[in-house]
C-alpha cells in the first residue's frame, strides 16, 4: 500500500486540481464521475483526471488515502474536497467558486453562475 499511497500523494500534489474518477474527463464511465467532470469542464477548470478503472491499486488505494468510500474524489491544492454530492452542493451554493478563488484556480465565473441559474 505504501507504493500506491506514494503514487497517489505525488499525483495529488503534482496538479492544482485532481479528479479521481471512473473513466476520463472526456469519457466518464459512471454518472457520479460524469456529473463532477461536467461541472469542472463547463466552468473551464484545468484539472488532471485519474481513471481509477485503469488501475485497481489506485481504485482501492484512493479510498484509503482519503478515508472516503466513494469515487469520484476531488482534490484542490493537495487537499481532499469531496465526492459528487459535496461538489454538486458546493457548485450550487457558490462555495466551489470561493474554493477556486481562494486557491488561485482559474475558472469561468459566468459559467458557474449559469449552473446556479439553471438549478434555481
Residues at the annotated binding site? Answer: 30
List residues forming the annotated binding site for [2Fe-2S] cluster: 30
Q: Determine the Cα–Cα distance for residues 82 and 23; give it in Å rounded to an integer.
A: 18
Residue for cell digits 459512471? 30
Is the distance from CB of 36 to CB of 75 less than 8 angstroms?
no
Show the DSSP H helices in the chain as ranges: 2-14, 31-42, 56-66, 84-93, 95-102, 109-118
Amino acid at each position: 500500500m505504501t507504493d500506491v499511497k506514494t503514487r497517489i500523494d505525488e499525483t495529488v500534489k503534482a496538479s492544482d486540481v485532481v479528479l479521481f474518477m471512473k473513466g476520463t474527463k472526456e469519457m466518464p464511465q459512471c454518472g457520479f464521475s460524469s456529473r463532477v467532470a461536467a461541472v469542472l469542464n463547463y466552468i473551464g477548470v484545468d484539472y488532471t483526471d485519474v481513471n481509477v478503472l485503469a488501475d485497481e491499486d489506485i481504485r482501492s488505494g484512493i479510498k484509503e488515502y482519503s478515508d472516503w468510500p466513494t469515487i469520484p474524489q476531488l482534490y484542490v491544492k493537495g487537499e481532499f474536497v469531496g465526492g459528487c454530492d459535496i461538489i454538486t452542493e458546493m457548485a450550487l451554493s457558490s462555495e466551489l467558486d470561493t474554493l477556486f478563488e481562494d486557491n488561485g484556480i482559474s475558472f469561468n465565473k459566468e459559467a458557474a453562475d449559469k449552473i446556479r441559474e439553471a438549478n434555481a
